[in-house]
Structure 1
């Protein structure tokens, strides 16, 4: 797997991030976590938006501050992203959790998701979040294994209005 680390969004990683973004777009898959769906043409503006989200500045009504980190390897290639919500709203308690994460399609099945969640849990501890909720769709067995590999204890699932079943796991606390 190599040496990987989390980094805050950084202007110096524009080329690497845009490559990450384009791979997701070309895959046609849902972009996870939600923040990576923001088109990065104005890269500096996107990084500033992420910084403001982390500080809780300019958030829509009912939203909570959230911090985004990128998983990069020793060559600075962006392999994945994680978005950490600092607290839970009723929606996040049932369907979103504290942590959303994703690995670029070409880097999957190499252990990066497990490492990304492990590193994200260190960040939640730094934010003072002792008990962390992580969720995944019932159909996403790979994500469920990643969560279980990081100590997840399954709680009652939540069925969304459209019938999608969300598995909910608590870590820590």
Structure 2
């Protein structure tokens, strides 16, 4: 079973184990999750930072959870050029099992339109090839519809055949290829 859940403290142990899996696989960037360190910028964003040591504590992990939840709010400070986005953690059979992350960006900037799209997701290496991403994207479509999006742009690298299959399994229609990105539109209803 795959579920989409808003970030919650119950995922801490599994989330940190997943982080270790991503590091072991040499995958630093995780679509749908966001970085642990965001520097301050000239547009007034004060920056944010989380360390592994801090996230090992209840208080530190609670701060990360709040940070991820607040990303959906219009008035939350964010890096210049970023838009509100709703972050979900992909869960499994165990209510504390973290399988990955998925984010729905509420609108598109020129960068998002060309490269990243409305939806980004990543599945921890140990949970891949089990249909997790396909089901997570399927579950995200009604959530995107609830945000007023009748269709979402979902992109993947041209070399990422697995992600292309996830998008196509959810009704994705290829619009074009721009550089190394395949760009699909997926109806939300």
Deviation sequence 1:68-89 (CA, Å, 0-9, x none): 1011112131111101100000
How many residue pairs get aligned? The number is 166
Q: TM-score, normalised by structure 1?
A: 0.89
Q: 2:9: which partner in 1?
A: 11
Cα RMSD of the aligned pairs, angstroms, is 1.5
- In structure 2, distance between residues paired with 1:61 and 1:30: 22
- In structure 2, distance between residues paired with 1:100 and 1:171: 13
- In structure 2, distance between residues paired with 1:22 and 1:37: 15
- Paired residue for 1:125, among 130, 145, 149? 145
Q: 2:92: which partner in 1?
A: 73
Q: Tell me by how many angstroms 1:22 deviates.
A: 1.7
3-state SS, counterpart of residue 95 of structure 1: helix
- Paired residue for 2:155, among 135, 149, 154? 135
Q: 2:65: which partner in 1?
A: 47
Q: 2:82: which partner in 1?
A: 63
- Listed as ranges, the gaps of 5+ residues in structure 1 are 160-164
Q: TM-score, normalised by structure 2?
A: 0.82
- In structure 2, distance between residues paired with 1:172 and 1:9: 25
Deviation sequence 1:16-40 (CA, Å, 0-9, x none): 2112222112221243215354255
- In structure 2, distance between residues paired with 1:13 and 1:156: 37
